Amino acid sequence: SAVISQKPSRDICQRGTSLTIQCQVDSQVTMMFWYRQQPGQSLTLIATANQGSEATYESGFVIDKFPISRPNLTFSTLTVSNMSPEDSSIYLCSVDQGQSSSGANVLTFGAGSRLTVL
């Protein structure tokens, strides 16, 4: 399965600032996914990043708050803009491992970026 490098692994940020998280995959992948995991909570899909087109955002997430870049098939970035303490979470990128026989995505996750907003 793909190996994902995600950075930063953690950061402490000030309210009102923005932070960009990078995700590098060791192989070309069509879709990359960005998830948020709030402390002690489940995983919520923020958006799906496709190379060559705009990201597709899930309900409750907007491009102005979480702009995403996907310049090529091995790299993506997620920016958390104008941060507030409510944005304190772990942000995870993931890719489809391609093991599914039913069309669903079987995911490999990066190690995550733990953001604390003061």
From the CB of 115, what's the least distance to another protein, in Å?
A: 15
Pick between residue 13 and residue 31 the one whose CB is nearest to another protein. 31
Which two structure tokens, joined as six digits, stand for 86?
A: 């409510």
Pick between residue 1 and residue 82 the one whose CB is nearest to another protein. 1
Q: What backbone phi and psi angles, to 5 degrees, belong to 87? A: -85, 0
Please tell me the total number of residues recorded for the chain in this structure.
118
Report the distance separating Cα 111 and Cα 75, nearest Å. 15
Q: Which residues bind another protein (CB under 8 A)?
A: 40-45, 92, 97, 99-112
In 3D space, the residue among 45, 39, 59, 30 whose CA is nearest the CA of residue 93 turns out to be 45
Pick between residue 38 and residue 84 the one whose CB is nearest to another protein. 38
From the CB of 105, what's the least distance to another protein, in Å?
A: 6
Whether the CB-CB separation of 61 and 81 falls below 8 Å is answered with no
Pick between residue 61 and residue 109 the one whose CB is nearest to another protein. 109
From the CB of 59, what's the least distance to another protein, in Å?
A: 8
From the CB of 101, what's the least distance to another protein, in Å?
A: 6
Q: How many other C-beta atoms are found inside a 10 Å radius of the C-beta of residue 47?
A: 22
